[in-house]
Amino acid sequence: MDSQIYDVIMPLALKDMDTVMKNSGSWFRFLPIKHLIIIGNAEVQKHLANMDSMDGKIRFIDEGELLEIGTVRDIMCKAAPETIREDAVRRAGWYLQQFLKMLYAYICEDEYYMTWDSDTVPLVPIEMMHQGRPVFHMKEEYYPAYFNTMGRILPGMGKRVRQSFISEHMLIRSDIMKEMIEEIERQNISQGRKFYETILYAVDKDMLPHSGFSEFETYGTYTDSRYPDLYEKISYSSLRDGSRYFVLDQFGSREAEWLKGIYQAVSFEKGDVLLPEHRFFNVGLLQSLFGFDEMAAFFMNLREQKKRMKKALKDRKNRV
């Protein structure tokens, strides 16, 4: 584990709090945490009051002290075409949580702070420093919309490396984040826009109801461009779609032990749909006989075979 520890920040909505109660033990076991700082509204604070603060290691910040959700909604109302305005406004919380992670740089008292997604469970110790250098954990992902926005808010900035900086967590240096925010705001100084306004107006209009900006991809690219020798880039492997194979409430130490030979973390995204075969992934005997990737590939091939068979039967029926 890191000899250094960091404030780990999590912007959360009320719907995320059950996940926090389930996952917090793993966070404190495997992450280099000084304090877990929950950023949310009054409902989140009320729910948090019922949790064990772990001797003061869990703290709360009212999101309104950084940025109001109403402000983001108002900007999106103005930025989005009328035909998609309602859908865009529903996405405001997703953009807000990114802006909160960025704005924390202005109240952070340390050189670095760390973000960690609440739906992600670490399976092994996650080290954020390697031989004295901060680490970017790199994954395989490319989403053009993120770079379209980036090129508008930071002219000339674009994809620099083959891998992606999006890894469900990041170690952020406070002064560099503030520098990046202020550079974004200088691009629109005549309009007097805050960085989050500039970002929302820069997102492709049809992407506002979707995923049009990534704070991770933007900060990683900016830092790699301005300070190329500061961070060390290390490949990182996590199971992004864990909720297709496991029910979080049933995910225990046996499943974690099974996965950790391949993955460093597993995420349980709420939008994923459980596979019909998910119950097989909780069977201890099968876990002892097969690797996770081997089982996942087997069932994927089985589904493809079923699809081909159904198509062949349908084609045959149409010919008769």
Per-residue pLDDT tens for 139-162? 999 999 999 999 999 999 999 999
- The values of phi and psi at residue 75, to 5°, are -65, -40
Per-residue three-class SS string for 78-99: HHCCHHHHHHHHHCHHHHHHHH
Secondary structure element (H or E) that encloses residue 219, with its range: helix 215-226
Confidence of residue 257 (pLDDT cuts 50, 70, 90): very high
Tokens 């008292």 identify what position?
Answer: 109
Q: Domain coordinates of the chain in residue numbers?
A: 6-236, 239-319
Confidence of residue 318 (pLDDT cuts 50, 70, 90): confident
Instruction: Report the amino acid identity of residue 244.
Output: R
Residue with more model confidence, 303 or 212 = 212
pLDDT tens per residue across span 84-123: 999 999 999 999 999 999 999 999 999 999 999 999 999 9
CB 239 within 8 A of CB 266: yes
pLDDT tens per residue across span 7-40: 999 999 999 998 888 899 999 999 999 999 999 9
Q: What pLDDT sits at residue 2?
A: 56
**What are the beta bridge partners of residue 9?**
37, 115
Please compute the mean of the pLDDT values over residues 240-255 and round it to a whole number.
93
pLDDT tens per residue across span 274-306: 999 999 999 999 999 999 999 999 998 988 888
Taking 80 as the threshold, does the pLDDT of residue 310 lie above it? no
Q: Torsion angle of alpha carbons 99, 102, 104, 108, nearest 10°? A: 180
CB 6 within 8 A of CB 114: yes
- The values of phi and psi at residue 31, to 5°, are -105, 150
The Cα 211–Cα 203 span in angstroms is 9
Closest CA to 3 of 107, 144, 131: 131
Beta pairing, strands 238-239 & 265-267: parallel
Q: How far is CA 58 from CA 7, 17, 24, 27, 30, in A?
A: 10, 13, 10, 11, 16
Q: Which CATH number fits domain 6-236: 3.30.10, 3.90.550, 3.10.510, 2.30.30?
A: 3.90.550
